[in-house]
């Protein structure tokens, strides 16, 4: 087998000779030694190229025959300015031509032909890219099937991975490595050293973020080798600048023998910031395998989690069970809004990177519409029964229930059919709803009976039910416009005396009506009794003599002539004469009395009736007057009224409060405030500017906290004040600001 392998390697070497670029093997100085970095076929298998010494390397220009188009996606992606697009092995290998350039993947890259005997096998599989100091943006894509294998010389140092080593300023982000297969061996003697990681063997003052790795690493080396799932070793050289590893995870199983610094994320760390990473892969190196790292000094390590038993020695970080690793509540400081997501349906039940998912969502479709598709304007949308089918690139499908976080923009105030967009990551589907207007059910007027004087005006107010009716406009009309007119603002003008009905009709329905009964009156300016014909000098008044039992009809002239007021007649002494409601006087007994005519508006006139003592011819007995006809004129006087109720206590103004805490969670802003003395309620307002004139939201609450809906990535200002049970308000608190994520 070994002979076959040698023969195949020689064939590949001959094929590549004409196209290969021979260059000095990347030599770089560390603090105490010079080492040769990179794993290239002349170094790993020196017998294939006996003419090259240990400090030389051959950077191969691999045969770039295209793989099947079925292996790649067809989506065209926008290339950021200054970046070079990579969509093939050829493009990936071309990074060697400009190690300081900026690169972005536009497709997944398949390196499966780097396996032993494959089309792109350099003799030891993939040849790591040396001395990279640029930027590689995986753009959510992955490099799959990278193979690196071979027997290494124990006296040499090798950096093994996609990149041999990352130099100062290098940035690797949003990159996935799947199907990684690294299998190398070296002797246990000599001064050689191994740095092995899926992304890079070694890093110096660089950064790696939003990356993951899956596969296997098998190493038989010596004590002091640095092996990690993501990176073998990383050196910040005493400073925290760009040197960091954040938002990464590892699923690579590492099997190492006779080594020391082995970790799920990184083998060896020096002055590095490591945060928000987790490891699932099994790290096995006797008693030296760390779930997160193998060895570190002067590093800042935070929010790192690992599966219980994934390492063979204690590691800094939080150990979790399988179930706990699948629960986002354990990932306290992880950003599950913009960076992380848990999608158990994909086959990877652990957190994945939103911008770099291990298993990407290929598409979604609405499988079942929500049960409710008909709404009234302003209703809250209901997603009960709605399900979408998730379709993944690995062939898995899943049904999940819709929730409001999946919905795009919609407007429940918009009348008619409306398309509701459902989003899952960057995939969309839709369903259609119909929004109906809210009909007017009732109109209530503030007055149902109204009396106006001729020429007077009054305004009616209509209240619409329900309050959220779509069209609250009212059409006003008068059944008799010659008596009263009304405009479309509800203003009535009394035109002439009489009675009419004012109507308020719903503009939207035409059938919902409210009415007000209106009377227009004309008041009396003056009145005079026309029977004044005899002047009594002694009395100094007009006086009519009327014998006992005789009757007399008094009459009045009223001005203006169209006055609608009634006349009230009254006798000062009903023992002398009585008067009925129509002004008819009947003499009762001897004496003198004053008969008064009074209008409802208070105009008066009077005349005296004298009944002599002579006995007149018997006359019919007088009719018993109505009480109201003989009731003396009285005026109600409330001057003596005294309010004897106990006086209420003086209202007390509430104390001050303050905003204690602001927190944004998804599209909600949570507000907490302090308790104020004598407070019954609290008024909270939220605005998008300091002067509280834009984007106002508010509410009246009884507790000490509440929330409102907000938009992400905006700044909000919040203030609160207390309100007493009597309605007195306290001072506004000092405004507090929050920038929502």
Question: Could you give the percent of the chain with pLDDT greater than 70?
Answer: 83
Q: How confident is the model at residue 80 (pLDDT cuts 50, 70, 90)?
A: very high
pLDDT of residue 616 exceeding 50, the answer is: no
Contact at 8 Å (CB) between 304 and 292?
yes
Q: Is the pLDDT of residue 644 over 50?
A: no
Helix, strand counts (H, E) of the chain: 5, 65
The rounded distance, in Å, linking the Cα atoms of 202 and 165 is: 5
Q: What is the pLDDT of residue 729?
A: 86
Q: What average pLDDT score do residues 528-532 get?
A: 88
**DSSP for 676-688, written as a single string:** -TT-SEEEEEEES
b/e 712-734 (16+ beta carbons within 10 angstroms → b): eeeebbbbbbbbbeeeeebeebe
Helix (H) or strand (E) holding 43: helix 41-44
In this predicted model, what pLDDT tens digit does every residue of 436-456 receive, in sequence order?
Answer: 999 999 999 999 999 999 999
Smallest Cα–Cα separation from 81: which of 124, 137, 37? 137
Which of 362, 354, 422 lies closest to 396 in space, CA to CA?
Answer: 362
The mean predicted confidence, pLDDT, of the chain is: 82
Mean pLDDT of 620-633: 45
More confident residue, 27 or 166: 166
Contact (Cβ atoms closer than 8 angstroms) between residue 124 and residue 181: no
- Strand, helix or coil for residue 414: coil
Is-contact 315 287, C-beta < 8 A?
A: no
Distances (CA, A) of 540 to 156, 526, 531, 607: 146, 22, 16, 11
Residue 327 has pLDDT above 60, yes or no: yes
What distance lies between CA 50 and its chain's CA centroid? 67
pLDDT digits (tens, 9 = 90+) for 182-240: 999 987 777 788 999 999 999 999 999 999 999 999 998 888 889 999 999 999 876 55
pLDDT tens digit string along 92-136?
999 999 999 999 999 999 998 888 888 888 888 999 999 999 999
Which tops the pLDDT comparison, 151 or 42? Answer: 151
Q: Are strands 212-220 and 249-250 parallel, antiparallel or unpaired?
A: parallel
What is the predicted pLDDT for the residue at 618? 54
Query: What's the CA angle centered on 252, arms 249 and 257, to 5 degrees?
Result: 130
Per-residue b/e over 563-599, b at no fewer than 16 CB within 10 Å?
A: bbbebbbbbbbbebbbbbeebbbbbbeeebbbbbbbb
Report whether the peptide linkage leading into residue 560 is cis, meaning its omega lies within 30 degrees of zero.
yes
SS (H, E, C) 344-359: HHHCCCCEEECCECCC
In this prediction, residues 665-686 reach a mean pLDDT of: 89
What do you get for the CA distance between the two ends of the chain, in Å? 59
pLDDT per residue as tens digits for the range 350-394: 999 998 999 888 899 999 999 999 999 989 999 999 999 999 988
Nearest to 390 by CA among 432, 451, 341, 458: 341
Burial environment of residue 684 by CB neighbours within 10 A (0 to 12, 13 to 18, 19 or more): buried
Concatenated DSSP letters for 566-629?
-EEEEES-TTTEEE-TTSEEEE-SSEEEEEEEEETTS-EEEEEEEE-SSPPSP-PPPPPPPHHH
165, with CB counted inside 10 A (0-12, 13-18, 19+), is buried
Does residue 75 surpass a pLDDT of 50? no
Task: Determine which helix (DSSP H) or strand (DSSP E) holds 548, and give its type and residue range.
Answer: none
pLDDT exceeds 50 at position 728: yes
Cα(338)–Cα(425) distance, rounded to whole angstroms? 10
pLDDT at 40: 41
Is this prediction's pTM over 0.75? no
Question: CA–CA separation, 586 vs 611, rounded Å?
Answer: 10
- How would you list the strands of the sheet with 387-392, edge to edge? 361-368, 387-392, 397-401
Single out the residue of 185, 122, 170, 114 nearest to residue 143, CA to CA. 114
Q: Is 323 helix (H, G, I), strand (E, B) or coil?
A: helix
Residue percentage of the chain with pLDDT more than 90:
53
What pairs with residue 151 in β-bridges? 185
- pLDDT above 60 (res 568): yes
Q: Residue 614: what pLDDT?
A: 64
Picking from 190, 164, 162, the residue whose alpha carbon sits closest to that of residue 175 is: 162
Joined together, the tokens standing for residue 185 give 């061996």
Residues 198 and 216: their CA atoms lie apart, in Å, by: 9
Distance CA 273, CA 339 (A): 18
pLDDT value at residue 210: 97
Q: Let me know how long the chain is.
A: 741
The structure tokens 């290339």 sit at: 79
What is the average per-residue pLDDT within 74-97? 86
Identify the burial level of 345 via C-beta atoms within 10 angstroms of its C-beta, where 0-12 means exposed, 13-18 middle and 19 or more buried.
middle
pLDDT category at 582 given cuts 50, 70, 90 is very high
**Is 504 within 8 Å of 512 (Cβ atoms)?**
no
Cα 278 to Cα 174: distance, rounded to the nearest angstrom: 16
Q: Which residue has the tokens 């002091």?
A: 224
Question: 426-438 pLDDT, tens per residue?
Answer: 899 999 999 999 9
Instruction: List, in sequence order, the alpha helices (H) in 70-130.
Output: 89-93
Q: Where are the beta strands (DSSP E) in 440-540?
A: 442-445, 449-453, 457-459, 462-465, 474-478, 484-486, 491-494, 498-506, 513-521, 526-529, 535-536
705-719: pLDDT as tens digits: 888 888 888 899 999
Q: Given pLDDT bands bounded at 50, 70 and 90, which one contains residue 562?
A: confident
Q: Which residue has the tokens 């000092």?
A: 734
DSSP 51: T
pLDDT on residue 101: 96
pLDDT: is 630 or 692 the higher one?
A: 692
With bands split at pLDDT 50, 70 and 90, how would you rate the model's confidence at 628? very low
**Closest residue by Cα to residue 5 from 115, 114, 117, 121:** 117
Residue 410 has pLDDT above 70, yes or no: yes
**Buried b / exposed e along 379-390 (16+ C-beta atoms within 10 A):** bebebeebbbeb
Given this model, what pLDDT does residue 620 score? 57
- Angle, CA 7 vertex, CA 4 and CA 11 arms, to 5°: 140
612, 587 Cβ separation under 8 angstroms: no
Q: Identify which has the larger pLDDT, 693 or 590.
A: 590
């Amino acid at each position: 087998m070994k002979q076959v392998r040698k023969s195949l390697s020689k064939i590949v070497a001959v094929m590549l000779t004409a196209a290969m670029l021979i260059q000095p093997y990347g030599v770089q100085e560390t603090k105490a030694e010079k080492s040769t970095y990179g794993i290239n076929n002349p170094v790993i298998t020196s017998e294939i190229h006996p003419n090259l010494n240990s400090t030389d390397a051959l950077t191969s220009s691999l045969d770039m025959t295209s793989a099947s188009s079925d292996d790649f996606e067809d989506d065209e992606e926008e290339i950021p300015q200054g970046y070079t697009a990579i969509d093939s092995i050829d493009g990936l290998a071309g990074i060697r031509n400009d190690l300081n350039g900026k690169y972005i993947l536009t497709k997944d890259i398949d390196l499966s032909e780097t396996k032993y005997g494959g089309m792109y096998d350099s003799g030891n599989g993939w040849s790591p890219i040396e001395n990279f100091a640029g930027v590689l943006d995986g753009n959510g894509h992955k490099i799959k099937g990278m193979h690196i294998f071979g027997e290494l010389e124990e006296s040499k140092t090798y950096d093994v991975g996609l990149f041999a080593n990352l130099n100062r300023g290098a940035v690797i982000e949003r990159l996935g490595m799947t199907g990684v297969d690294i299998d190398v061996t070296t002797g246990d003697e000599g001064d050689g050293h191994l740095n092995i990681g899926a992304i890079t063997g070694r890093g110096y003052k660089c950064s790696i973020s939003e990356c993951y790795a899956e596969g296997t690493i098998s190493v038989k080396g010596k004590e002091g080798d640095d092996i990690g799932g993501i990176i073998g070793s990383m050196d910040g050289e005493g400073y925290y600048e760009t040197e960091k590893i954040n938002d990464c995870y590892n699923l690579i199983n590492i099997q190492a023998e006779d080594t020391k610094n082995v970790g799920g994320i990184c083998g060896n760390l020096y002055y590095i910031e490591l945060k928000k990473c987790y490891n699932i892969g099994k790290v096995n190196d006797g008693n030296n395998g760390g779930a997160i790292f193998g060895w570190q000094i002067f590093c800042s390590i935070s929010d790192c989690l690992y599966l219980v038993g994934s390492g063979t020695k204690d590691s800094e970080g939080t150990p979790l069970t399988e179930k706990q690793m699948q629960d986002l509540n354990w990932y306290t400081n992880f950003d599950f809004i913009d960076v992380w997501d848990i999608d158990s349906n994909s086959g990877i039940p652990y957190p994945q990177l939103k911008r770099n998912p291990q298993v990407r969502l290929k598409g979604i479709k609405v499988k079942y519409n929500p049960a409710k598709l008909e709404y009234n304007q302003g209703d809250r949308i209901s997603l009960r029964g709605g399900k979408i089918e998730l379709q993944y690139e690995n062939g898995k499908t899943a049904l999940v229930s819709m929730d409001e976080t999946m919905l795009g923009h919609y407007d429940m105030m918009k009348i008619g059919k409306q398309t509701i967009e459902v989003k899952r990551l960057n995939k969309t589907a839709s369903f259609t709803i119909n929004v109906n207007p809210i009909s007017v059910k009732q109109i209530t007027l503030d007055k149902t009976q109204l009396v106006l004087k001729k020429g007077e005006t009054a305004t009616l107010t209509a209240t619409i039910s329900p309050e959220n009716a779509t069209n609250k406009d009212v059409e006003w009309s008068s059944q008799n416009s010659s008596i009263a007119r009304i405009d479309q603002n509800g203003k009535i003008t009394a035109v002439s005396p009489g009675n009419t009905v004012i109507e308020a009709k719903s503009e939207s329905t035409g059938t919902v009506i409210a009415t007000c009964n209106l009377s227009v009156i004309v008041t009396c300016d003056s009145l005079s009794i026309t029977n004044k014909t005899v002047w009594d000098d002694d009395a100094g008044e007009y006086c009519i003599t009327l014998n006992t039992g005789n009757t007399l009809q008094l009459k009045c002239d009223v001005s203006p002539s169209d006055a609608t007021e009634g006349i009230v007649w009254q006798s000062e002494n009903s023992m002398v004469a009585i008067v009925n409601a129509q002004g008819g006087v009947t003499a009762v007994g001897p004496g003198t009395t004053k008969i008064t005519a009074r209008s409802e508006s208070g105009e008066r006139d009077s005349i005296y009736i004298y009944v002599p003592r002579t006995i007149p011819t018997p006359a019919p007995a007088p009719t018993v007057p109505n009480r109201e006809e003989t009731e003396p004129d009285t005026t109600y006087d409330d001057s003596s009224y005294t309010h004897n109720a106990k006086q209420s206590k003086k209202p007390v103004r509430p104390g001050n409060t303050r905003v204690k805490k602001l927190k944004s969670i998804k599209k909600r802003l949570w507000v907490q405030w302090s308790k104020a003395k004598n407070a019954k309620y609290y008024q909270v307002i939220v605005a998008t500017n300091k002067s509280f004139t834009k984007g106002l939201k508010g509410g009246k609450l009884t507790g000490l906290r509440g929330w409102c809906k907000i938009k992400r990535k905006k700044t909000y200002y919040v203030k609160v004040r207390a309100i007493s049970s009597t309605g007195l308000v306290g001072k506004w608190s000092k405004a507090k600001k929050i920038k929502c994520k």
